[in-house]
Amino acid sequence: MTGDIGLAPPRSAPGCATPAPEVLRERGQREVFCGLTGIIWLHRKIQDAFFLVVGSRTCAHLLQSAAGVMIFAEPRFATAIIEERDLAGMADCQDELDRIVRQLLDRRPDIRTLFLVGSCPSEVIKLDLGKAAQRLDVALGGRTRVLNYSGSGIETTFTEGEDACLATLVPEMPAAAADAAPSLVIVGALPDIVEDQFLRLFAELGIPVAGCLPARTVANLPAIGPQTRFLLAQPFLGDTCRALEDRGAKRLDALFPFGAEGTTDWLLAAALSFGIDRMHFNAVVAPGRERAKRAIAHRHERLAGKRITFLPDSQLEVPLARFLSNELDMIPVEVGTPYLHRDLTARELALLPAGTRISEGQHLDRQLDRVRADRPDLTVCGLGLANPLEAEGLSTKWAIELVFSPIHGFEQAGDLADLFARPLRRRDLLKV
Ligand code: SF4
């Protein structure tokens, strides 16, 4: 149909599948935050939940510094610190944990869902938090639901914390009635303002939305069943996706909603699935899409032709590289990601320019050698690598900022482009 919005390649092209790109796999020293970091955005999102990390002082410091000091607020996260006598086996950790949980709930009866979050220390001493959660859940008799997941930094990266938390919530979602009409669930923690923008667009399109995962309160998790279709808002939710599919829900394959094209494609996947008239889709989507394109165009001059390398960190690397190359004409040199979710990002990968080096996993020294040899205009990396690279004259962008900032959807597309333009602007100013 001419005049249609939606520029991504066809959703299925039998017989002419794009060959899977070659991926450089690396194992070695890594430089990433652990899954506890996800608590920083999850505790703001899920307002009736509390996250109790069972960890060490290091875990407590990580959380405190990542979240900022919250002296005046009643926080919704804390760390139960495993002391030396616990490690030495002089105290029964399960008893200690029961005591701390009871203390916490006596003081904070408003907590409806308590997540016991595992850490490296709790895993090293093989503290069974699954068993603890089951025991406490029964003991509390429905007053507070107790769940658990791991945020450990052993062989994980920081966005896996969100995946583990959401996968834990899937069994908590009520079952949809067998004769329920098809409905949509948005999956992935989004800032409330962005979530509201999407909900408004789906309402205008006429697509019935059952809710979001995570919901703003655990009590309001959407019902799920074989009639449920879901859109992932984040590319790192592999376990959550599998858990939803195990309950019969169907994932709608789409680009991730970054930039004008990604957002259009994401909305289009839902519109096609729910049989929305194409003219109506175009009419609803066009104003936001045009605003996004105009906002992106303002950053085009600064970013076009610039070479960019992503070091493996947030797992957002592939869709962001697609956005930067397709909509801003940047040149991805290397796109490194801790884990490559091939099925979830297949369409994203197909849109990366030929010759883009894709790497999975990390061998820090080798990767830094490649950055030094490539000398990209911009390197997206973890906090610990940014300063040394800047000292070598390379411009950097902190990957974690991309997770903490609202970057999804039409209205945020300009800000997303600006996150990459800013370090280059600063570099140019410093040169003068
Ligand atoms: S979970 Fe592990 S990596 Fe994370 S802060 Fe605690 S000790 Fe460090």
Domain limits, the chain: 23-30+296-431, 35-155, 183-280
For β-strands 23-27 and 49-55, DSSP reports them as unpaired
Question: What does pLDDT average to over the chain?
Answer: 91
Distance 39 CA to ligand 1 centre (A): 13
SS3 294: helix
Distance 154 CA to ligand 1 centre (A): 8
**Amino acid letter, 381:** C
- Specify the pLDDT at position 14: 40
- Specify the pLDDT at position 287: 98
pLDDT band at 30 (very low <50, low <70, confident <90, very high): confident
- pLDDT of residue 244 exceeding 70: yes
The CATH class for the domain spanning 23-30+296-431 reads alpha beta
What is the distance between the terminal CA atoms of the chain, rounded to a whole angstrom? 50
Q: Which two tokens stand for residue 138?
A: 């029964």
- Specify the pLDDT at position 66: 76
- pLDDT of residue 120 exceeding 80: yes
Confirm if 152 and 123 have CB atoms less than 8 A apart. yes
Rounded to whole angstroms, the Cα distance separating 187 from 212 reads 6
Average pLDDT for residues 419-432, to the nearest whole number? 85
Residue-wise pLDDT for 357-378, tens only, equals: 999 998 999 999 999 999 999 9
Distance 422 CA to ligand 1 centre (A): 31
Rounded to whole angstroms, the Cα distance separating 261 from 211 reads 24
35-155 to CATH, choices 3.40.50.1860, 3.40.50.1980, 3.30.70.1230, 2.40.160.20:
3.40.50.1980
SS3 364: helix
Top mutation candidate among 53, 64, 65, 120 for ligand 1, by most atoms within 8 Å of CB: 120
Top mutation candidate among 30, 62, 79 for ligand 1, by most atoms within 8 Å of CB: 62
pLDDT above 90: percentage of residues in the chain = 75
Distance 61 CA to ligand 1 centre (A): 9
Which residue ranges have their beta carbon within 6 Å of ligand 1? 34, 36, 55-56, 58-59, 62, 119-121, 151-153
Report cis status (omega within 30 of 0) of the bond before 14: no
183-280 to CATH, choices 1.10.3730.10, 3.40.50.300, 3.40.50.200, 3.40.50.1980:
3.40.50.1980
Q: Is residue 59 marked as binding?
A: yes
CB neighbourhood size of 27 (10 A): 9
User: Does 35-155 match 23-30+296-431 at the fold level?
Assistant: yes
Segments in 48-142 forming alpha helices (H): 57-67, 84-87, 93-107, 120-124, 129-139
- Specify the pLDDT at position 432: 52
- Specify the pLDDT at position 87: 66
CB neighbourhood size of 306 (10 A): 18
